[in-house]
Each structure stands twice: as structure tokens, then as C-alpha cells.
Amino acid sequence: MSARIPRQRAIPAAEGGQAPPTSAPHRPPGGSDGPLGPGDRGGRDGYSRTRDPRGPGPAHGAGLTLLVIEDDPGGALRLPELLAADGKPMRIRTARNLTEAERLLTDDVHCILLDLALPDGSPANGGTGPTGTPPPTGPGPVYDGSPRTTTDGTGAQGTGTGTGNSTDVDADELAPLRHVLRLAPRQAVLALTTSGDAERGARAVRVGAQDYLLRDELDSRVLSRAIQYAVERKRADAAQRQLHESRLRAQENARLERGLLPTPLLEGSPLRFSSRYRPGRSRALLGGDFYDTVRTPDGSVHVMIGDVCGHGPDEAALGVELRIAWRALTFAGLVGDELLGTLQKVLEHERPNDEIFATLCTVDIAPDGRRAGLCLAGHPSPLIVRHGPATTAGAAREQSAPRAELLPYDNGGPALGLLPRARWPRRQVELGGRWSLMLYTDGLIEGRVGEGNQRLGQDGMVEMVRRQLATGLRGDALLEAAVTEVRELNGGELTDDVAVLLLDRER
């Protein structure tokens, strides 16, 4: 069954300007919009004043609304009764030109059916323009919206716009479509053309329309399916574009985070450095844990590991700032209490709120590698593995077995950012000849053991490392095995950031 679409006369949008709004037409029973009058769109004058062309677009759960734009003074265009996929009638709004269409285009419009024979309304083509500007007087090209000859005001005739350039013809023919695409970036657009001008419909799809239809082949089944297909394709295109943009942002963030991870500066040092880092945030490369190690010109090796409370990007950014500040202050010659006191000032100025604090452990190893200065700011004490004197004698093999234990952790200071005038004493420790020093954050020791509430803790970590050392694991293999076992004991991925460092001295 076909039904003539009544003309929208409440907003005449005549060639010379805009008529004042009139009373809203009677809404037909059954809930279908039909022709929409000013009173149907809200506001004192009925016009939508809050529509954002780049806004959220129509809701997925709402019934479909079709906006028909076609210049048909005689009302010759007849559309069949349209049903959405749920069987409900589609709401139809009609506009005779682009000015009227812009006023009827609200966020609840899902699809636009545009007659490609519609004049673009620009002054160059004898129209009023999108804002109702009257055309200039005097001779000029006349375009009626169809691909035919033009008159340049002197009686000469030619193809296209009178210039002989087919590109100019295409631009003029599709100017209304381009204008609609700019007005409605979130709505699906169907182009309507005649069977003898299918090529222009194909060009419309290349410009940005979701599909094109032939005027003399319209029926309820074809048009309803085309509208639903266009709406879903527009949604799919938008989702694909958002996914692509998200992937690009994720790649940029990954490159940025990877660039913020430290590069150890140990050139000239006999020490071997290994590390493992696992952020607690999903799909992140950088968390609130931070670390660094450098060799200063006097031959000393300085290593640091810290943990900003929290797991978000703000905490990760603060950790990077503290790491960079630590490196600069270390090269400036600061150690111990002076260094940590300055880092606390950096934290107090850079943290987003006063509740943020950071734990820290610093170790400065003497040039001979046999002793070090240790400072703890609320951080777990490092683990040292002493390997004993190097020997190949079988009788001395038991004596040279590695011995793992924690460095002294009494007499430490509070975490940075907790006490304004805190102090952090520097404790001298003996390392020995051959040793491995492991620094870690609390993510390694706070994982669960089994299904209960028991945590691994420092004692459990020491026992775990001893077992792994007994199997002959060293360096990177030792760190990988430690992190893997902690995750397995936890029953899955750890929720906290984990950073583990290992410095080895073989002689």
C-alpha cells in the first residue's frame, strides 16, 4: 500500500526567506510522527536549539526516523508505507530544500533520503543558500539539479557548468549531497536518482552516501531494507572508526610509555643488570612502580626502586618524574638523606593531592663493589645473595653454595610525602666479593598463597629464591622464575604493579 507523503508546510523555507512558524499539524493516531510541525520538536518556537552535528546521534533503541529531502512542488514522489525491523511504522519528515532540512535535522533522525536532483541552493546556482541568502542578480550559470546543458546568460550553451570540465559537473551535481554530509555526519544518507542516471548514484556512494536508490523502483520492501541497511552500515562504520582511533591512541600511548621506561647507564661497570616489570593496569606498559640505575664518574653504581601508591596514569606519571629527578640529583652528587629530602619536595609539588606518597629504596655501591650505602623510605629491604669464594674444588663446593638473606632493614625512614621534616639515615652494609643484589616492590611479596588470605611476604620470597638458586638459576632466568612462581601462587595475574631488579657481581 502506497501513501502520499504530506508536504511540510509549517516551515515553508521559500526562495526569498523563511516564513514565520504556524501551529503544529494534527498528529495522526498510532504514534507515527508523519509530517513534523514546529510544536513537535520542543522549545518555545518548536525548533531544536541543542542539536550538535557531531553529537551522540540517534539512540539505537528508538524507532527509525527518516528525513526526506526532495524538491517536488507537485508532490509527485510517492513512497510506500515503511516498516522498521520491529514492525513499527517509520516516522517520516519531509523538507523541500536544504534550509528546511537543516531545521528538521534533529538528533533522533536516523536516515536521510536525498533527491540528487535537488538544487544545492547556493547563490552560484540560483538558490537561497543554506542560510537563506538570496542569489546575486545579473547573468550567471543556471543549474536546475539535473545533468543537462547550462545557460551562461549570453545564449551560449555547453555541458556541465559551461567550462567543459567534467569534474566541475560532478561537483555541482553532488553539491547538495556534500552539504548534507557536512550537516549530518552521524546519520545514514541514501541518494535518490532516476534509472537513467545510475552513474550519478554510484558517484554519490563514492562521495559518502551509504547507498543509492532508483526513483522508479521504490517499493516498501526495497526501501525499508535499504534504510535499515544504511543505518546499520553507518553504525558499523562509526564503530570501526572508533576502534581504529582507539588502536592508534593505544599505539601512541605504548610508544610514549615505552620511551619513559629507564635505560640503565652502567657503561664501564663490571656489574650485570637484569629487570622485570609488570604494571597492574590492564594493557599498560607503565605503572606506579619505578626504578633506575646509573654509574657516576667516580665509579660508584647507584640503583633505586620505588612505588607510588595507586595504579593509574597519574601515579605512573609521578613515578617517571621521581625517577628523572633521582637520576639528575644522583649525577649532581647527592646521596642519602639529602637526596631523599629533595625527592620529597619534588613529590609534594607534583602529586595531584596530599594523600599521595611513595616508598623508595636507594643503594649506592662503592667503586670496588664490596660495600654499599642503603637508604629505605618505607620500602622493603633488598635481598642479597652471597656466592662465597670462587672455586672449582669439589670439597669446597658446599662452602661456595649461594646464601640468600635480607639486608638490615631497621633504622629506616618513612615513605616520601608522609612527614614534612622526616629524615632518612644511610646505613653502610658489606656486600662481599661475589654477590647478587635483588631490589623489588611490594607487588612481589603481597600476592596470595593459595585460596586463603595468606600473603607470600618477605620470608616466603626468601625461601622461594633459595629454592630457585638451588636449581642453578641466575640473572634473567632467576627473575623470570620468581615472577612466574609468584603469579602461580596467587592463582592468576597480580593486581599490583611488580618491579624486580638484579645486580650481579661475578668477581
**Taking a C-beta distance cutoff of 8 angstroms, is the pair 375, 330 a contact?**
no
Contact partners, residue 247, CB within 8 Å, separation at least 6? none
**Taking a C-beta distance cutoff of 8 angstroms, is the pair 191, 211 a contact?**
yes
pLDDT at 170: 54
**Taking a C-beta distance cutoff of 8 angstroms, is the pair 143, 13 a contact?**
no
- How far the first Cα of the chain sits from its last, in Å, is 94
Sheet-wide strand order for 358-365: 289-295, 301-308, 358-365, 371-377, 427-430
User: pLDDT tens for residues 11-48?
Assistant: 333 333 333 333 333 333 333 344 333 333 333 333 33
Buried/exposed code over 51-78 (b: 16+ C-beta within 10 A; e: otherwise): beeeeebbeeeebbbbbbbbbbeeeebe
Q: In degrees rounded to 5, what are phi and psi of residue 295?
A: -115, 125
By CB atoms closer than 10 A (0-12, 13-18, 19+), residue 410 is: exposed
- The amino acid that residue 458 corresponds to is Q
pLDDT at 24: 37
Query: Which strand (E) or helix (H) includes residue 192?
Result: strand 188-193
Among 121, 135, 101, CA closest to 175: 121
pLDDT at 506: 85
Nearest 10 degrees: CA dihedral of 477, 272, 408, 371? Answer: 160
Q: In degrees rounded to 5, what are phi and psi of residue 95?
A: -140, 145
DSSP-derived secondary structure for 301-314: EEEEEEEESS-SHH
Contact partners, residue 13, CB within 8 Å, separation at least 6? 19, 95, 96, 97, 99, 100, 103, 128, 132
Q: Is 77 helix (H, G, I), strand (E, B) or coil?
A: coil
**Taking a C-beta distance cutoff of 8 angstroms, is the pair 304, 360 a contact?**
yes
C-alpha to C-alpha distance for 413 and 415, rounded to whole angstroms: 7
pLDDT at 25: 38
pLDDT at 384: 97
C-alpha to C-alpha distance for 129 and 122, rounded to whole angstroms: 4
User: pLDDT tens for residues 266-286?
Assistant: 999 999 999 999 887 666 667
pLDDT at 502: 97
pLDDT at 281: 65
3.90.1150.110, 3.40.50.2300, 3.40.50.720, 3.40.50.300: CATH of 2-234: 3.40.50.2300
User: pLDDT tens for residues 306-352?
Assistant: 999 987 888 888 999 999 999 999 999 999 999 999 999 999 999 99
Q: How many residues does the chain have?
A: 507
What residue spans define the domains of the chain? 2-234, 262-505
Pairing of strands 272-278, 289-295: unpaired
In CATH, the number for domain 262-505 is 3.60.40.10
pLDDT at 389: 62
10-residue mean pLDDT series, the chain (507 residues): 40 34 37 38 36 46 80 58 72 89 91 85 44 41 38 39 46 85 92 88 92 84 87 90 84 70 91 90 75 96 95 87 96 96 97 94 96 97 84 48 90 94 95 95 89 88 95 94 93 88 91
Q: Is 289 helix (H, G, I), strand (E, B) or coil?
A: strand
C-alpha to C-alpha distance for 341 and 416, rounded to whole angstroms: 8
Ramachandran region, residue 324 (left: φ > 0; alpha: ψ -120 to 50; beta: rest): alpha
Cell triple for residue 363? 643503594
